[in-house]
Amino acid sequence: MNWQADWGLRVRMFVTMFLLFALYIVFAGVLTAYLDAGLFGFALLFGGFSLVQYYFSDTLTLKSMGAKTVSADEYPQLHASIERLSQQADLPKPKVAVVDSNVPNAFATGRNQANAAVCVTTGLMRMLERDELDGVLAHELSHVKNRDMMVMTIASFLSTIAFMILRWGAFFGGGHGRGGGREGGGGGIIVAILVSLVVWIVSYLLIRALSRYREFAADRGAAAITGNPSALASALLKISGQMDKVPKEDLREEAEMNAFFIIPIKSGIVGRLFSTHPSTDRRVEALRELEREMTGL
């Protein structure tokens, strides 16, 4: 099975970004019309910080997760696997990092293919056989090749601005909407907050829909890289089965990284209602179908 461009993913990325762009054009217009310079300036300031976060996303994400960049001397087998799989995926070798955690998981981060990192937990390496770990690593490299982190970071940045205005709008606006605004006075800030709520909800749903599809795309990419869909399917079942046994303290510490993990951590009401990933059963069935296609059975 050879690597092929996933046009379904590319179309979905384009449509999602186009809809988000159109949504935020309207959003910016409402902010300009109804809010004074204080809150609008806050949005610009927060946007600046978010761009810095995007530029240094690999370093910041690894630090936030307590990950340590490791050398080939420390983890020779892990480095050898990532180097081999990167060559098969026609990618530059990313940085290799490890998190000392009982949570069996992995993620990729970085703004582009030349500035990427693949991270695994010690719990994952203890649990999986070598071919299963290769499947997980290939899945993460597929995210890098598809530029998923860049798209999701940009999309999430736009959504986060709306959420922050929704959360802090009343405080920063102080009830003093632009006098020239159609609603005037406190009405301006109320309109802006309501629009921010709508923008945040729509953005949230669009991003979650894209996130779930990209996991299927990364699974297919992993199958193309390794030629062994069943190994990844086996790994997914093992990881999913072990999540319920991990101490809740460990789950809470890492729950915010759900969109980047190979298996999401199901924690809290939002985690249960709006998953960033499709169900493990659906992913395993798709991989088994790929296996049947490859073997002709």
Closest CA to 246 of 266, 273, 269, 222: 266
Task: List the catalytic residues.
Answer: 140
pLDDT for res 12: 82
Strands 116-121 and 95-99: parallel
**Structure confidence by residue, pLDDT tens digits, 157-188:** 667 766 766 666 545 454 444 444 444 445 66
* pLDDT: which is higher, 251 or 85: 85
| pLDDT (average), residues 187-195 | 72
| Nearest-angstrom CA–CA distance, 189 and 208 | 28
Closest CA to 16 of 109, 139, 151: 151
- Say how far apart CA 246 and CA 99 lie, in whole Å: 15
Q: Across all residues in the chain, what is the average pLDDT? A: 78
The predicted structure's pLDDT at residue 274: 56
CB neighbours of residue 284 within 10 Å: 20
Q: Given this model, what pLDDT does residue 126 score?
A: 95
112-130: average pLDDT? 95
Q: Looking at mean pLDDT, say which of 83-87, 174-178, 199-203, 260-264 comes out highest.
A: 83-87
pLDDT at 87: 96
State how far the Cα of 199 lies from the Cα of 160, in Å rounded to an integer. Answer: 10
Highest-pLDDT range among 28-32, 107-111, 178-182: 107-111
Give residue-wise pLDDT tens across range 209-237.
Answer: 888 888 999 999 999 999 999 999 999 99
pTM for the model: 0.77
Q: Which amino acid is present at 2? A: N
Instruction: Provide the phi-psi class of 155: left if phi over 0, else alpha when psi is between -120 and 50, else beta.
Output: alpha
Pairing of strands 95-99, 106-110: unpaired
- What pLDDT score was predicted for residue 258? 47
The more confident residue out of 58 and 30 is 58
Residue 199: closest CA among 13, 11, 19, 14: 19
| Residues 6 or more apart whose Cβ sits within 8 Å of residue 212 | 275, 276, 277, 278
Share of the chain above pLDDT 70, in %: 68
Q: How far apart are CA 173 and CA 135, in angstroms?
A: 50
Compute the distance between CA of residue 192 and CA of residue 177 in angstroms, rounded to an integer.
9
Contact 230, 289 (CB under 8 A): no
Residue 263: pLDDT over 90: no
Give the least confident one: 21-35, 99-113, 207-221. 21-35
Higher local confidence (pLDDT), 250 or 289: 289
Residue 47 near residue 157, CB atoms below 8 Å:
yes
